[in-house]
Structure 1
Amino acid sequence: MQSYIFNDFNICDNLLPISFFENISNPSKEDDYGYTTMSDFEVTMQDYLDKLHAKKRDKALIDFDRYRSIEEILKNPSNTAISTAQFRYWAKKMFELSPGETKVVCHNGKPVAIKETIYEILLDAHKIANHGGRDKTSAIVKGSFSWIPKELIARFVRCCPTCRFKRNGNHLDTFDSCSPPYATNYNDLFLNSISTEISTPSTTLWEILAGEF
């Protein structure tokens, strides 16, 4: 059984069988360009969170500290000293502890993926999917874990250099396609163009802006 460990905490200890993650095959020969790197994933994960509404952002992912709070609430449901009444109500409504001696926080019967372990989970699932795309990778993840948004899985696949190679007719794109294109920030563009104008007097602001339309 594959383990996902953060701060000596093993999310998969003595859980129900996580069949998809038991046997991870070796990467095939076509994987010349590898997989999404942790640094790329962290950037696109933060971008995903930043674009959520503030109310949704707070609980979109469960980090280690929040996981521990939920775990304490579920283990001691009558303890009113843990967090706030609103948070305790939400934790009891959305989560449950797994059966067995080792209690793990679950949602709809599946272990909750801690934010700090999501990259490793997605990496393993995408290896098993053999670069099979968002839906195949998502099905593997959802078969074993909960609380990983499908959009985040899609972004992981979008970042994968091997998948980008396949998607672009067997050549690597030259731009960063980890996240959807950003809307043009014309304030930044204006400031950058002024800097460019100073260093290259022959280039006007409007010539620079023209490339954006």
Structure 2
Amino acid sequence: MPSPADYAQFEEEYLEGLDPRKRAKALISQQLFDDIWLVLHAPGAQCVGSPQFRWWVRKMFILALPNDLDEETPTDPGSLVPAMVPLEAPDTSRQTLPVVAHDGKRLAVREQIYDVLCVAHARAEHGGRDKTMAEVKRRYTWVPKDLIALFVKYCPTCMAKRTPLRSPPPTPASNISLTSQASVLAPTTPQESPCPRSRT
């Protein structure tokens, strides 16, 4: 797996390559996640962010119990509603906390994406971008495909798989004289043949 320092470097390169207007929401930071949680947990609260931000949060995310998330199989293609139940109040009988979800999956926080990618890439057995992405998407959302591609591209194990093994260089013929090379390479004529001819 790429080191955390390597990951941080290409994550920053990924963000720098985005349009400046998209950078703020391309990866959900812990602070942004906390604001999303507050908007969803207290829908009437006007103290978090701008009205536009609160509208975006309510449009994109819901609070759901982990058991209600469709984490292992995709949602029913015939259904437009994700396989989850929005929460009005926490269900204390189950002793589980709701999670922030989008499209039936948990929201991945920027500070945890490296760990998510490491686990998903290991489960995919270093199978490449698409297999790693499929593993990530089984449980999480908001992990960009381009970031997954960079993670796989810089994975040392995957880099070793992609690099073809080189055959050893040919041994130099410096100890063979040019005349002996010529005699070895010259075709033999029937008169010079070392094998006796059979007469028939």
Q: TM-score, normalised by structure 1?
A: 0.63
Amino acid of the residue matched to residue 124 of structure 2?
A: A
1:88 equivalenced with 2:54 (yes/no): yes
Q: What is the CA deviation profile of residues 47-85 of structure 1, one whole-angstrom value per residue up to 9, with x for unaligned ones?
A: 000110011111000000100100010011111111111
**Cα separation, 2, equivalents of 1:134 and 1:146:** 16
Amino acid of the residue matched to residue 104 of structure 2?
A: G
1:58 equivalenced with 2:24 (yes/no): yes
Q: Percent identity?
A: 42
3-state DSSP of counterpart to 2:2: coil
Structure 1 counterpart of 2:157: 162
Q: What is the CA deviation profile of residues 111-157 of structure 1, one whole-angstrom value per residue up to 9, with x for unaligned ones?
A: 00000000000001111111100000000000110000010000000
Alignment of 1:1-213 (within 5 A): 35-99=1-65, 101-170=96-165
RMSD between aligned alpha carbons? 1.1
- 4+ long deviations beyond 4 Å: none
3-state DSSP of counterpart to 1:106: strand
**Cα separation, 2, equivalents of 1:50 and 1:104:** 29
Q: Which moved more, 1:162-171 or 1:64-73?
A: 162-171
Aligned residues: 137
Counterparts in 2 of 1:170 and 1:67: CA distance versus 1, 3 Å: farther
Higher relative contact order (CA 8 A, sep 6+): 1
How many angstroms does 1:170 deviate by? 4.0
Amino acid of the residue matched to residue 68 of structure 1?
A: D
Q: TM-score, normalised by structure 2?
A: 0.67
Amino acid of the residue matched to residue 151 of structure 2?
A: F
Q: What is the CA deviation profile of residues 182-213 of structure 1, one whole-angstrom value per residue up to 9, with x for unaligned ones?
A: xxxxxxxxxxxxxxxxxxxxxxxxxxxxxxxx
- Unpaired runs of at least 5, structure 2: 66-90, 167-200
- Unpaired runs of at least 5, structure 1: 1-34, 172-213
**Cα separation, 2, equivalents of 1:157 and 1:78:** 42
3-state DSSP of counterpart to 2:21: helix
How many angstroms does 1:36 deviate by? 1.0
Structure 1 counterpart of 2:82: none
How many angstroms does 1:109 deviate by? 1.1
**Cα separation, 2, equivalents of 1:130 and 1:81:** 46
3-state DSSP of counterpart to 1:97: strand
Structure 1 counterpart of 2:171: none
Amino acid of the residue matched to residue 144 of structure 1?
A: R
**Cα separation, 2, equivalents of 1:149 and 1:128:** 18
